[in-house]
Amino acid sequence: MTRMDPATLTAAKELLDQHKKNTTSVQRKQNLDLLWGVLEDLRKAGAVRFNLADVGKKLESLGGPITQSLRNKKGTPFREVICLYESGFKSCTPESELSGIERALATVTNASAKHVLREAAVTAKAVAKERDQLKTALMEMSVSPPSRQNSALASTPVVPDWIFEAIRSNLDPSRLMERGVSMADDGCLQNERQVALLGPDFVGAINEMLALHGKPPLDLRQP
């Protein structure tokens, strides 16, 4: 059986129970119980990552909600429990190795509040990391539009395929949806609180860069 932080396991169960109390739907309560059973079964089988695809497939086989249901707005409670449950495998480290954020969270006794704070910290870190990756990719490309005088002779710099793959992977609509990120009407990427993370000009710049290298543009519209 995979090791997990007992405190996080307890917090995840408390969060699940809270969501059960907040609904009057018998079916929804049953589905939350099914979710807990699936998470425990996966953990006992040795899993340390609990992505929505794997959890949804198992839930559907047991008569629970499908993966797409977990990804939509009504699936938010399920995603919160899954995320908190998974975080327990990242906190099984000695106190001396814990980050400042984790040490601060350790002083928070309310499970729901701790979950919200941890989610905010994780989201901020993920966004910062992805921005750094994209900035690095753009710097390595060093693309500048050819002048009119030598446009016929200009050649496009050779760019490693991993750079394009990194862009598409980090801006994949399904992956963004799992993190609660969606595209607003004005073209910017926003979180569940409708706070803009990447402006439409940044997304447009990425697509312009892809076009310069003969790559199809990103379609960030979510199904």
Highest mean pLDDT among 35-49, 82-96, 144-158, 187-201: 35-49
Q: Contact 111/14 with Cβ under 8 angstroms?
A: yes
Assess whether pLDDT exceeds 80 at residue 138: no
**Mean pLDDT taken over the chain:** 76
The pLDDT value recorded for residue 144 is 47
Angle in degrees, CA 67, 72, 78, rounded to 5:
65
* Residues 47-97 pLDDT 10s: 888 888 889 999 999 999 998 889 888 899 999 999 889 888 765 544 444
Taking 90 as the threshold, does the pLDDT of residue 33 lie above it?
Answer: yes
Confidence grade of residue 32 (pLDDT, cut at 50, 70, 90): very high
What pLDDT does 113 receive?
65
pLDDT at 17 over 80: yes
Percent of the chain whose predicted confidence (pLDDT) is above 70: 66
Query: In this predicted model, what pLDDT tens digit does every residue of 192-201 receive, in sequence order?
Result: 777 777 777 7
CA distance 13 to 7: 10
Residue 91: both structure tokens together = 């906190």
Question: What's the pLDDT at 119?
Answer: 65
Q: Is the pLDDT of residue 149 over 50?
A: no
Whether residue 22 contacts residue 32, with contact meaning beta carbons closer than 8 Å, is answered with no
For residues 91-108, give the mean pLDDT.
54
Judge whether residue 152 has pLDDT over 50. Answer: no
Domain ranges of the chain: 6-92, 123-144+153-212
pLDDT of residue 112: 63
Inform me whether the pLDDT recorded for 210 exceeds 50: yes
Residue 95 corresponds to which tokens in the numbers above?
Answer: 């106190």
What's the angle, vertex CA 98, arms to CA 177 and CA 2, rounded to 5?
Answer: 65
Least trusted range by pLDDT, from 7-11, 28-32, 98-102, 158-162: 98-102
pLDDT of 103 strictly over 60: no
Q: In the prediction, which pLDDT does 95 show?
A: 45
Structure tokens at 130: 């992805």
Could you tell me the two tokens for 209? 């860069």
- For residue 79, the model assigns a pLDDT of 93
Can you give the length of the chain in residues? 223
**What's the sign of the alpha-carbon dihedral 54, 162, 120, 195?**
negative
What is the reported pLDDT for 98?
46
N-terminal to C-terminal alpha carbon distance within the chain? 36
Q: Give the Cα separation of 193 and 207 in Å (integer).
A: 26
